[in-house]
Every structure is written in structure tokens, then in C-alpha cells.
Amino acid sequence: MLFTTTTQWVALAVALVAGWLFGLASHPGGARWKRRYLTERDAHADTTKRVTELERDNARLAKAAPVSANMTARPAAEPAYRDERPLPGDDRPLREGERPYRDEDRRI
């Protein structure tokens, strides 16, 4: 079994503390993580500010008068050109001066 005696436990503790001290001594100084932390903090503050603005706008829109269907509905637009000639196979009689629809009449 590992670490069965007091001496082994002390050796483990000394090794862990020595490793921790070695890691601190070999660390480059921390300027990089401080810079990254400040950048992230500023970005988080900007995001929080934007969320607050959006929530305020949402509350303002919720309090505003609801939009009725009459205000948003538009009348159906009439087509610029209406072809009322009968299609092939249609049994409707032709009006005076009207010719039947053919595939050659199709405009693309």
C-alpha cells in the first residue's frame, strides 16, 4: 500500500509543497492573465449593459399599445397583368376577340 507510514506522508507533503514553490518560482509573472482578466471583465460589463438596455426596451414595448390587425393588414396587391384567357381543357366559351392560351404565349 502507498503511504502507510508517517515518514511517507511527510515526504509526500514536502514533495507537494516543493512542487508548488517550484511552480510559483517558474511562473512568468502573471501580466498575461491579468490582461486577459481585465479584457474579459470589460467584455462582460458591455454585455451586461446591452442586456439591461434590451430588457428596458422589451418592457417599454410590452407596455405600449398592442398593434391591431387593421394596422398591419394590407390589401392584396393586384397583379400588373391579368391573363384571363381560358387554359387548355377549360370549357369556358371564348369572348369576342379572345384567343385561347397556348404555351408559346408564356413570358419568362
Q: What is the pLDDT of residues 35-78, one digit of tens each?
A: 889 999 999 999 999 999 999 999 998 888 776 666 666 667 77
pLDDT (0 to 100) of residue 83: 67
Number of domains in the chain: 1
Confidence of residue 100 (pLDDT cuts 50, 70, 90): low
**Residue 37, in any domain of the structure:** yes
DSSP string for 84-96: -PPPTT--PPPPT
**Residue 38, in any domain of the structure:** yes
Confidence of residue 6 (pLDDT cuts 50, 70, 90): very high
**Residue 81, in any domain of the structure:** no
Cell numbers at residue 34, please?
Answer: 491579468
- The predicted model scores a pTM of 0.37
**Residue 86, in any domain of the structure:** no
How far is 17 from 40, CA to CA, in rounded Å?
31
**Residue 72, in any domain of the structure:** no
| Range(s) of the domain holding residue 56 | 33-62
**Residue 51, in any domain of the structure:** yes
